[in-house]
Structure 1
Amino acid sequence: MKNLLTLLALFSFSLTIYAQNGDVLDKEKLFDFYQSQRYADAAQYLKSIYGDAPDDFKTLSQIGYCFLMAGNNVEAEKFYSKAYTLQPLNLPILFSLGSISSKRGNTEKAKRYYGEVVKIDSNNFSVYKLLANMYSSPKEDSVRLIYLLKANKINPLEGDVAVDLAEVHSGYQQYEKAYDVLDIAIKGDSDNLVLQRAKLPIANQLKRYAEVITSGEKLLKDGADAGVIKDVAKAYYYTKKYQKAIDLFKMLEAAAMQNEATLYYTSLSYRALKNYAQAATYTKKTIDEAISPNTSSYYSLLGLVYEENNQLTLAGAAYKKGLQFKIVPTLYYRMAVFYDTRMKQPGNALKYYMLYLKSKPSLLNDKEEIKFTKDRIAQLNLTD
């Protein structure tokens, strides 16, 4: 309520009571629109009083604000842009136009508005944070780093910037810098679990395993976060507490959150315990996890490309390579047709036609291929 009264005071009392058409602004009606968050109605009401093109800065910014809060970015930008022509150094207007441009996908335009804010106020934390978020691709990390460093210098205790800055430092393998950034932020907010989670993998990189285990175990009491489990398990592995590492890695596997790395460390842990049977099992799981389930299909496509380019030796090798990763009915069919029509090797063709049927192709989706295969097997058998 207090905020709404303040907002109304800032805007409505600064407006001219009598508008261009002589209508009087009903402050209570406008306040009711704000109180019930009917910002679109408030914008239309103000337009009905002041028209579509008022020349007063306060009026323009108020109507722009109403449209912005109503989610009408097109109209909001129109009124804010007019306000900008009157006061191009106004920070709230620049922030609003930057935000609208960003929401509408015009990142370069947003950068220009935020860049103007920097020229006016070089110690503005918010604008550096916003600019950092505008450079999100790995190729732009060097620029992002500049803005994150500026924001962090102004407010080293702000958690979001600390996490982002630590991430960029880690990307450059500057783990000590990343650790220090998070350490300072955590000292200012010791209950911030996001900061604590972000610190674990960096502490692992710095071989501060005891810290990872102590902090990580406390975090696990608040919930089984997959990232925390992985980091604590790795710390247990490096401190030669292999069974504890295995127990945690298996928690990830039970929740279907395992990956190549977690399976690999599980295998290493079993090997360290001389449980070679389980070590072999998890090494195979690691290999399976590392290989894309589509690899055989990719080799099938490669073989087809070679075949169409009359590179028959390469085509045959690609088809066979695909079978080493996964048995796919389509790949057997391709090989059968390849040996039948391109290589003129009926013996090999018959073998792969048979393997195709044994691999249980889809009766619904592959019915034409199945029929052709059965007919062709009969023909080849008659030839023999």
Structure 2
Amino acid sequence: MKLGICLCIILLGFKNANAQSAKIDTEKLLEYYETQRYAEAATYLQGIYPGDTQDIKALSQIAYCNMMAGKLTEAEKNYQKINTIQPNSLPTLFSLANINSRRGNASQAKTYLQQIIQLDSLNFSAYKQLATYAETPEAKLSYLKKANTLNTTDPDVAYDLSLTYSGLKQYQSAYDVLKTAIAADTENFTLQQALLPVANQLTQYQEVIETGEKLLKNHADVNVMNDIGQAYFYVKEYQKCINIYKMLENMGVQNEGTLYFMALSYRELKDYNNAVVYAQKTIDEAISDHTPFYYAALAGIYEAKNQYNDALTAYKRGLTFGTSTMIYYRLGLLYDLHLKQPKSAATYYQMYLKNNPDQEKEKEQIVYAKGRISDLKQ
């Protein structure tokens, strides 16, 4: 109904455009529009109006029909002609930006969008589209922030802005943007899913669990399962963490992170045999920058089982993938308290201190290591 009304308005505009419009068969043109035969509509209009016409309404409709028919070169020529006759028309600039975007000419599309914001500094759509052409995360953030300021509830902008904030590790800002958009659309599952990893970063674990469990009732998404598994671990629901990651493993979509949390969960439940199995699976899954931490986790499990030589081997294996202050410190403790080798203990405590441990987060360990070095040398 609305389409018919709109098309009638367009056709009436043609009727009143100039004397030549009397030749237009409005019923035929309306049929072309309603059946989306835009190429035929364009051909029909071009047959009525001369090629050198300066009639803005006629040119606009011919350009639009060509664009809808996928005849982008013809559409661009018509819109450029309109832009010459009537410069700084926002609809024309948007159409030119759209055509260049579809043709892969990002630079030209961006140029037209920038012209739009020079004419209208509060144009939400222009900022939203400019974000897709940003060359740096900072530039993308700037455009998305402006668009979000103009419309805080637009779900697409909120989603993209939250991802950009997260990429820059600005998790609180990402969280706030998503919460605002979700408040305006409480059934938007895409936004709720985007919230989960951000909430995990902010230690909002109970919110992750509550939201994640609702999302899983709608669809068993592996990303939701991954996020909710982490939250279960941090609230010490270790068996639930294992259960949900077991589901991922059975689906063949496990990764080093899920296996790592399973190993730690088994360790916390004192199921050391399974803890060892999953620590080794973690290592096998991916050798990465985190590998030293995985070996440290394996070594810690061996320590809990009083298998100190195995723990020593695992710690030293971890160091072959990179230096780790945590491993140096743990080796110092292992040699000091369990293997009773004071010289080696002092050596690893010293290596720990020489590798610049975090002065705030590891204050107690630093004091302890310094004290033990002094004691062991006596």
TM-score by length of 2: 0.73
Q: Which residue of 1 aligns with 2:72?
A: 73
Q: How far did residue 291 of structure 1 move?
A: 4.5
Deviations 1:3-22 (A, max 9, x none): 34323423523432417xxx
Deviation at 1:175, TM superposition (A): 1.0
- Counterpart Cα distance in 2 of 1:93 and 1:285: 58
Taking structure 1 as reference, are residues 51 and 284 closer, same or farther at Cα in structure 2, changes over 3 Å only?
Answer: farther
Tell me the equivalent position of 2:335: none
Is the counterpart of residue 158 in structure 1 residue 160 in structure 2? Answer: no
Residue number in structure 1 paired with 2:36: 37
Aligned to 1:13: 15
Q: Name the structure 2 match of 1:83.
A: 82
Aligned identity (percent) is 50
How far apart, CA to CA, are the structure 2 residues paired with 1:72 and 1:44?
11
* Partner Cα distance (2:3, 2:142) in 1: 35
Match of 1:232 in 2: 228
Q: Which runs of 4+ in 1 moved over 6 A?
A: none
C-alpha separation in 1, matches of 2:8 and 2:61: 9
Q: Deviations over 1:343-367 (max 9, x none)?
A: xxxxxxxxxxxxxxxxxxxxxxxxx
Q: Deviation at 1:227? A: 1.0
Instruction: Report if the CA contact (8 A) 1:14-1:58 is conserved.
Output: no
1:183 aligns with 2:179: yes
Number of the residue aligned with 1:350: none
2: distance between equivalents of 1:7 and 1:86? 25
Contact 1:4 1:34 (8 Å CA) reproduced: no
2:2 — aligned with what? 2
Q: 1:122 to 1:7 in 2, by over 3 A?
A: farther
Report the Cα distance in structure 2 between the residues aligned to 1:53 and 1:254, rounded to whole angstroms. 68
- Partners of 2:69 and 2:79 in 1: how far apart? 14
For residue 269 of structure 1, report the CA deviation from its aligned partner: 1.1
CA drift at 1:277:
2.0
Q: Does 1:144 align with 2:140?
A: yes
CA contact (8 A) 1:148 1:161 kept: yes
> The residue matched to 2:215 in structure 1 has which SS?
helix
Aligned residue identity for 1:240: K
Q: Compute the displacement of 1:174 (Å).
A: 1.1
Give the Cα separation in 2 of the matches to 1:15 and 1:286: 72
Q: Does 1:283 align with 2:285?
A: no
Q: Secondary structure at the match of 1:18?
A: helix
Task: Look up the match of 1:222.
Answer: 218
Measure, in 2, the Cα distance between the counterparts of 1:274 and 1:51.
85
Match status 1:132 vs 2:131: yes
Note the 1:1-384 alignment, pairs <5 A: 1-10=1-10, 11-18=13-20, 24-135=23-134, 140-291=136-287
d(CA) in 1 for partners of 2:160, 2:2: 35
Counterpart of 1:295 in structure 2 is: none
Computed over aligned residues only, the root mean square deviation of the Cα atoms, in angstroms, reads: 1.6
Letter in 2 for 1:3: L
In 1: Cα distance, 2:214 partner to 2:67 partner: 43
User: Would you say the 8 A contact 2:7–2:30 is kept in 1?
Assistant: no
Native 8 Å contact 1:42 1:66 kept in 2: yes
**Residue 274 of structure 1 aligns to a residue in which SS?**
coil
Deviation, structure 1 residue 260: 1.5
Match for 1:111: what amino acid?
K
What one-letter code is carried by the residue in structure 1 that aligns with 2:184? G
Equivalent residue of 2:219, what SS?
coil
Contact 2:175 2:199 in 1 (8 A): yes
Structure 2: gaps of 5 or more residues: 289-378
How far apart in 1 are the matches of 2:98 and 2:28?
Answer: 28
Secondary structure class of the residue paired with 2:17:
coil
Which residue does 1:311 correspond to in 2?
A: none
Equivalent residues, number: 286
Taking the aligned partners of 1:277 and 1:78, their CA distance within structure 2 comes to: 72
CA distance in 2, matches of 1:253, 1:117: 50
AA matched with 2:46: K
When the two structures are superposed, what TM-score results if normalisation uses the length of structure 1?
0.72
Is the 1:17–1:25 Cα contact (8 Å) retained in structure 2? no
Distance 1:85 1:289 in 2: 60
Letter in 2 for 1:185: A
**How far apart are the structure 1 equivalents of 2:277 and 2:138?**
43
Deviation of 1:273 after TM superposition, in Å, equals 1.4
Opposite residue 141 of structure 1, the aligned amino acid is P
Deviation per CA, 1:232-270: give whole Å up to 9, x if none: 110000111111001111111122221111111111111
Q: Determine the structure 2 residue equivalent to 1:325.
A: none
